């Protein structure tokens, strides 16, 4: 569990990579008994999935996830190497990341310390007597990245994206989202029961007697349930207008009068300036809790939140209990990841740009950057052509859309300016203390941006990350070096294959600028409507087609995707596949055709590359969790959903009009 504040409004897709002997698609991974036009997901990667069961430590598995894990091996090699030396100059990237990793890997020492590292924090919470004490401790927890029950994060002003302001956010829940507390379905009721047991066990590990632990767990649950009732649900969280509440500092006191905002902002060295309250109703509930909930209940709640944040950094008993609930029960993993993987992930989370430089030097050649930039150029051009040719959009709105497209920023590989972690105190003494020190630095780094012009050079992901994102407030697409690895991207592979895998990802991120959420932000990144009412209505009708399509995808008899929740990602997948295919064709104009591979034409290779890279096997628990809370559909429908709408797919595999992979004309969705 990370204790760093989450970044708002990042619409991203999750992906990855791998070390490959073969450059391109692998015909051996295809299910030859299947039919491309019947179930392309199964056709493209069915044989691979049969031959590669999900490892016990994962909740899903594909070539994409495999390559993400290989990335972690690269990170480990770098960390192991720097941690061998103990005389790096204090504060250097090597000293910080090397000592952080060494402290994390020293499980004998961590186990011997038990709950001791977190004891001072627990003592502080257990000593709370008055509402004023509660407020001081909330501020202290925020200083070290434990953002409960609300959080404060830097983000751009939604209406003036040149400026960074504070955003007050809702948080403080131990279950994944509000529905887990409130919905009557059996799976949520069961999760609540298991959660109560889990929280009680954590209290016991921190030294409570079983009866007290049980009663404290019940207090925590009731407390969090009240917060959940005042929180937005997952669909509302995707709607920026529902989180747009610019507030004068003076009015914070009206919204939540029981909290001393002046003292809180002063302690954080923050000016008393205008800010955005993302969820006013939540803040009012927080105020009610401060005013009327006995401090004894606050003690239980905050103690639990401290334990929850610290669990993964403490002894094996805490780590295992945390895994039993979050990893095993909620996600279906059978065993924990090896310690080195967890430590590599943690080092990357906390000090990612310290080791990122070395990662890039070793695993991201300049030609990979150049080729990605070239592909991106063609895919942006394809989007320009698509907008130009739309038959449903007025010239007026098209002009605005083209303006927005022309102002996209593209970031590839790694930041031009690296973070300087000077002053972070990292040693091999106590892993939890290192996590706190790094979190504190990250919190300060964030607070330092508030009240200043936006720094467009910053990155929201670290270089080794196997992922990508679109940020509507900066109107930028970002592809870390960690995703630009085989088989998503391979400098030695055919263009057809690269466009089919990473190209679709690039098209996906570009389309996010024009999905149901991104389309509400203009060329400058402001939340501002640039659509004529008629065009907006037509766009919404097209989006509704996608909602309906995904509402119809079931994972179990009574559980299906929530079309509204996955709308943005599904519009992006549909646009991404279309754009990358067009861009591939355009990029090959005037060049000799690429070779067939195992009898597959370049166009077929394009789609197979997408199906092979994206397709995964997933555990039922993880699938249920995704359908409930993840704005991304499961891989099967990320492959079959968009492709069954795409005429280029139908033509490439010569599918009959009534094939399962060809949606009837009346149901066919096309947004962009």
Interface residues with Zn ion (CB under 5 A) are 13, 569, 572
Using CB positions, name the residue nearest to Zn ion. 13
Strands 476-480 and 409-413: parallel
Question: In terms of CB distance, is 355 or 468 closer to Zn ion?
Answer: 468
What is the 3 state secondary structure string of 254-317?
HHCCCCCHHHHHHHCCCCCCCEEECCHHHHHHHHHHHHHCCHHHHHHHHHHHHHHHHHHHCCHH
Rounded to a whole number of angstroms, the minimum distance from the CB of residue 512 to Zn ion is: 6
Query: How far is residue 67 from each of residues 31, 357, 419, 466, measured CA to CA in Å?
Result: 21, 20, 26, 8
Spatial neighbors of 392 by CB under 8 A, at least 6 apart, are 535, 538, 542
d(CA 521, CA 531): 10
CA distance 12 to 539: 21
Taking the complex as a whole, the smallest distance from the CB of residue 168 to Zn ion amounts, in Å, to 26
As beta bridge partners, residue 152 has: 168
- Cβ distance to Zn ion smaller for residue 350 or 467: 467
Instruction: State the Cα angle at 476 between 400 and 443, rounded to 5°.
Output: 135
Tokens of 382: 């394809």
**Residues 343, 101: contact at Cβ < 8 Å?**
yes
> What is the nearest approach in angstroms of Zn ion to the Cβ of residue 270?
32
- Residue 211 CB burial class (10 angstroms; 0-12, 13-18, ≥19): exposed
Q: How many CB atoms are located within 10 Å of the residue 469 CB?
A: 23
CA 363, CA 420: separation in Å to the nearest integer? Answer: 22
User: What is the smallest separation between the CB atom of 605 and Zn ion, expressed in angstroms?
Assistant: 24
Question: Which SS3 state, helix, strand or coil, does residue 600 take?
Answer: strand
What is the distance between the alpha carbons of residues 547 and 667, in angstroms, rounded to a whole number? 12
Rounded to the nearest whole angstrom, what is the least distance from the CB of residue 566 to Zn ion in the complex? 10
Between 471 and 612, CB nearer to Zn ion: 471
d(C-alpha 158, C-alpha 638), whole Å: 30
The distance of closest approach from Cβ of residue 8 to Zn ion in the complex, given in angstroms and rounded to an integer, is: 15
Q: Quote the least distance from Cβ 380 to Zn ion, whole Å.
A: 17
Q: Is the dihedral of CA 412, 416, 422, 428 positive or negative?
A: positive
| C-alpha torsion 299→305→311→315, nearest 10 | -10
Q: How far is CA 620 from CA 50, 260, 503, 595, 617, in A?
A: 17, 46, 30, 40, 10
CB of 391 to Zn ion, least distance (A): 26
Helix axes 295-310, 186-205, angle to 10 degrees: 90
Nearer to Zn ion, 36 or 478 (CB): 478
Minimum CB distance to Zn ion, residue 568 (Å): 7
Q: Which of 397, 412, 556 is nearest to 481 (CA)?
A: 412
**Closer CB to Zn ion, 13 or 461, in the complex:** 13
For Zn ion, the closer CB: 286 or 470: 470
Q: How far is the CB of 230 from Zn ion (least distance, A)?
A: 28
Closer Cβ to Zn ion, 216 or 569, answer by number: 569
Please count the CA atoms within 13 angstroms of the CA of 660 that sit on its side-chain side.
12
Q: How many H-runs (helices) and E-runs (strands) does the chain carry?
A: 26, 12
Between 83 and 520, name the residue whose CB sits nearer to Zn ion.
520
Compute the least distance from the CB of residue 543 to Zn ion, in Å.
15
In angstroms, what is the minimal distance from the CB of 510 to Zn ion? 11
Least distance in angstroms from the C-beta of 108 to Zn ion:
41
| Residue number, 27 or 235, with CB nearest to Zn ion | 235
User: Cβ 265 to Zn ion, closest distance in Å?
Assistant: 34
Least separation in angstroms between CB 11 and Zn ion: 5
DSSP character string of 52-120: SPPPTT-SEE-HHHHHHHHHHHHHHHHHHHHHT-S-SPTTSHHHHHHHHHHHHH-HHHHHHHTTGGGHH
Toward Zn ion, which CB reaches closer, 240 or 602? 240
The CB-of-632 to Zn ion minimum distance in angstroms stands at 7
Smaller CB separation from Zn ion, 337 or 512: 512
Nearest to 506 by CA among 567, 577, 585, 415: 577
Quote the CA–CA distance of 452 and 457 in Å, as a whole number. Answer: 14
Instruction: Rank residues 415 and 518 by Cβ distance to Zn ion and give the closer one.
Output: 518
Contact between 504 and 45 (Cβ < 8 Å)? no
Distance CA 356, CA 342 (A): 17
Please, are residues 476 and 410 in contact by the beta-carbon 8 Å criterion?
yes
Closer residue to Zn ion (CB): 353 or 569 = 569
Residue with Cβ nearer Zn ion (139 or 501): 501
- Identify which of residues 154 and 575 has a Cβ nearer to Zn ion in the complex: 575
Which of 224, 569 has the CB closer to Zn ion? 569
């Amino acid at each position: 569990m990370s204790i760093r504040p989450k970044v708002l409004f990042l619409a991203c897709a999750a992906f990855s990579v791998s070390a490959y002997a073969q450059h391109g698609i692998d015909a051996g991974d295809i299910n030859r008994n299947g039919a491309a036009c019947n179930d392309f997901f199964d056709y493209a990667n069915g044989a691979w999935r049969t031959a590669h069961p999900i490892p016990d430590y994962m909740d899903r598995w594909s070539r994409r996830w495999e390559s993400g894990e290989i990335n972690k091996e690269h990170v480990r090699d770098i960390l192991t190497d720097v941690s061998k030396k103990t005389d790096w100059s204090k504060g250097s990237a090597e000293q910080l990341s090397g000592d952080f990793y060494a402290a994390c890997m020293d499980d004998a020492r961590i186990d011997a310390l038990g709950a001791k590292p977190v004891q001072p924090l627990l003592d502080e919470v257990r000593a709370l007597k008055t509402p004023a004490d509660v407020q001081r401790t909330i501020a202290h927890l925020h200083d070290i990245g434990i953002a409960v029950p609300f959080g404060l994060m830097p983000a751009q002003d939604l209406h003036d994206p040149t400026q960074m302001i504070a955003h007050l956010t809702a948080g403080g829940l131990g279950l994944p989202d509000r529905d887990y507390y409130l919905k009557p379905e059996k799976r949520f009721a069961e999760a609540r029961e298991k959660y109560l047991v889990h929280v009680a066990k954590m209290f016991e590990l921190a030294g409570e007697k079983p009866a007290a632990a049980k009663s404290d767990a019940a207090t925590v649950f009731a407390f969090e349930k009240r917060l959940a009732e005042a929180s937005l649900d997952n669909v509302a969280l995707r709607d920026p207008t529902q989180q747009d509440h610019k507030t004068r500092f003076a009015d914070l006191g009206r919204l939540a009068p029981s909290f001393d905002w002046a003292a809180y902002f002063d302690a954080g060295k923050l000016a008393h300036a205008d800010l955005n309250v993302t969820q006013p109703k939540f803040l009012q509930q927080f105020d009610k809790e401060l005013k009327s909930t006995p401090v004894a209940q606050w003690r239980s709640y905050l103690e639990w939140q401290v334990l929850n944040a610290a669990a993964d950094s403490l002894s094996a008993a805490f780590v295992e209990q945390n895994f039993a609930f979050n990893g095993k029960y909620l996600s279906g993993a059978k065993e924990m990841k090896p310690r080195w993987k967890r430590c590599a992930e943690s080092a990357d989370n906390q000090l990612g740009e310290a080791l990122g430089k070395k990662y890039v030097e070793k695993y991201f050649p300049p030609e990979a950057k150049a080729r990605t930039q070239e592909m991106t150029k063609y895919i942006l051009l394809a989007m320009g052509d698509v907008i130009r040719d739309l038959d449903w959009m007025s010239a007026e709105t098209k002009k605005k859309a083209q303006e927005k497209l022309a102002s996209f920023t593209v970031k590839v590989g790694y930041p031009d300016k690296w973070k300087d972690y000077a002053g972070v105190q990292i040693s091999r003494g106590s892993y939890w203390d290192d996590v706190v020190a790094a979190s504190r630095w990250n919190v300060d780094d964030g607070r330092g941006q508030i009240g200043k012009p936006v720094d467009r050079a910053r990155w929201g992901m670290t270089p080794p990350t196997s992922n990508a994102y679109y940020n509507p407030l900066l109107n930028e697409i970002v592809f870390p070096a960690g995703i630009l690895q085989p088989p998503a991207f391979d400098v030695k592979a055919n263009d057809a294959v690269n466009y089919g895998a990473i190209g679709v990802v690039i098209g996906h991120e570009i389309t996010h600028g024009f999905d149901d959420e991104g389309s509400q932000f203009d060329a400058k990144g402001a939340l501002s409507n640039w659509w004529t009412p008629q065009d907006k209505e037509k766009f919404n009708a097209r989006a509704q087609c996608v909602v309906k399509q995904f509402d119809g995808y079931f994972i179990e008899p009574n559980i299906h995707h929530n079309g509204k929740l996955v709308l943005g990602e599904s519009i992006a997948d549909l646009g991404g596949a279309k754009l990358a295919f067009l861009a591939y064709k355009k990029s090959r104009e005037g060049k000799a055709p690429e070779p067939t591979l195992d009898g597959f034409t370049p166009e077929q290779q394009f789609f197979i590359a997408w199906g092979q890279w994206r397709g995964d096997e997933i555990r039922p628990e993880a699938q249920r969790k995704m359908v409930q809370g993840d704005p991304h559909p499961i891989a099967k429908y990320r492959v079959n959903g968009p492709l069954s709408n795409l005429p280029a797919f139908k033509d490439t595999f010569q599918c009959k009009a009534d094939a399962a992979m060809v949606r009837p004309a009346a149901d066919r969705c096309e947004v962009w």
